[in-house]
Each structure stands twice: as structure tokens, then as C-alpha cells.
Amino acid sequence: MRWLDRSTPDLDEAKAAFKQIVADGHRAAAVIESIRAIFSNDARSRTSLDINEMIGEALALLRADLQRHRILVQAAANADVPQVRGDRIQLQQVLLNLITNAIDAMATKDGARLLRVRSEVHDAAGVIVSVADNGPGIGQEELEQIFNPLFTTKSGGMGMGLSICRSIVEAHGGRLWVKSTKPEGAVFKFLLLADGATSAGASHESNRTISRLVRALKAQTSPNDRDDKVHSGEDRSWALF
């Protein structure tokens, strides 16, 4: 209000301040709506999901960012992981957020940039998905706060992304954690319970799907950008985005 209290009110500054308040209000409303959706626990929105298929979709959605930052992607889809039951939109948002954070962490890194996304079976009753980067890593002090609401290491961040991701995973009966890796980088992992009514064999087809997706993305890069050491094995694919 100080801009309006002056003898000659600064209307331009006041307008800019009010616009910022409105923008902040809209962002806050979006965050609140997301949180409400997380805890609605509407069973009708939960279906049997193939996590390997969702990894492939997330990588495809972020293809432009991966290409722009010249990030080498290693997608290791374990063909034996069981399906999980959950809200597709919410769990896809977790994957997108974790991969985007990894991209941001490597954006200014010199040298090769490597993103590793993999799925694995956990005690035959669950699935672990990991998203790892070779960026600067996360300090011990940041590790202790990184999932706290409003804590952020980004200049323009709201500090809600990872907090919401953890809430989503926990609302699905799982958990989300992070650790720094040596000599560089960090890895985020989340655990989801298997859908007991779903056969694990259904993941074999999605494993082939993710391999086709990665090969297609590989084919779209120019010959000079391609890595001569592209490998596609039984349960993993490599691609330079």
C-alpha cells in the first residue's frame, strides 16, 4: 500500500504488486486443488496400471527437454514387475516431476549428462521405480528438508512439487525417498504395492513398447548426435535424447 500512500501515488507499481498477488493466489489455488485431489481417495479413479508403460509415456512427454539439454537416457524396464493399482494422472505426475527435477539438476553440467530410469520387483509384492541423475548431487542439509512443504533449491520454485509427490505415493500405500550418489548425482526412488489381482506377465508387452518408444526417439536425432554404443537388451534400452 505504500505506493498508494505517497503524495503522488505510483499506480504502475501498485498494479504490478496486485497482479503478483493475484498470480500467487492462482498458484496457491492450484496447489490446494492438487492436494484435495490426492486425498479424495476416490476408488473409481484407481485402475490397474503398467508402470513400465507409464515410464515410457513420461519420457516421451519430456522428449523435447531431454533433447534440448542433450541428456543421455538409460531406461531399464524390468519385464517381471507386477502391475500396480492407482490413479494414473497422479502417478504420472510423480514421474514427470522427478524426471523434470533430474533434468534441471543436470542443465548446467559440463560433460556427459545421464538420466537413468528403471523399474524393479520388490519382495514379489511391490515395484520400485528409481530416477537417477549425474548432476551436482544433494547436500546433507538439503536431504533432510527436501520433502518439506515450501522448501526449494530453485530460484523460482514453490517448494511444493516433492512434498506433493510424497503425499501422492503415500496415499497409494507406498513411500518415496532420496539419496545422494557417489561421486556425483542423486537418485529418487518410490515404492508401490502390486495389484494382487493382476498378472505380472502383462508387463512383457509394455517392455517391448518402451523399447520401441526409445528406438523411435533415437531415430529422430540427427546422425551426428547419435551414440555409437546404443544397446537394446532384454530389459533395457539406451537412447540419446
| Residues 34 and 141 reside in one and the same domain | no
**What total number of domains does the chain contain?**
2
| Residues 95 and 108 reside in one and the same domain | yes
| Residues 172 and 233 reside in one and the same domain | yes
| Residues 104 and 128 reside in one and the same domain | yes
Q: What average pLDDT does this structure show over 4-19? A: 74
| Residues 33 and 51 reside in one and the same domain | no
| Residues 29 and 82 reside in one and the same domain | no
| Residues 78 and 125 reside in one and the same domain | yes
123-126: long-range contacts, CB 8 A cutoff, minimum separation 24: 124/194, 125/193, 125/194, 126/82, 126/174, 126/191, 126/192, 126/193, 126/194
Condensed to tens digits (0 to 9), the pLDDT of residues 78-106 reads 989 999 999 898 899 999 999 999 999 99
Domain that holds residue 23: 2-38
| Residues 31 and 149 reside in one and the same domain | no
| Residues 47 and 70 reside in one and the same domain | yes
CATH number for the domain spanning 122: value is: 3.30.565.10
Condensed to tens digits (0 to 9), the pLDDT of residues 138-194 reads 888 887 887 887 766 665 554 567 888 998 899 889 999 999 888 889 999 999 999
Burial of 223 (0-12, 13-18, 19+ CB in 10 A): exposed
| Residues 24 and 57 reside in one and the same domain | no
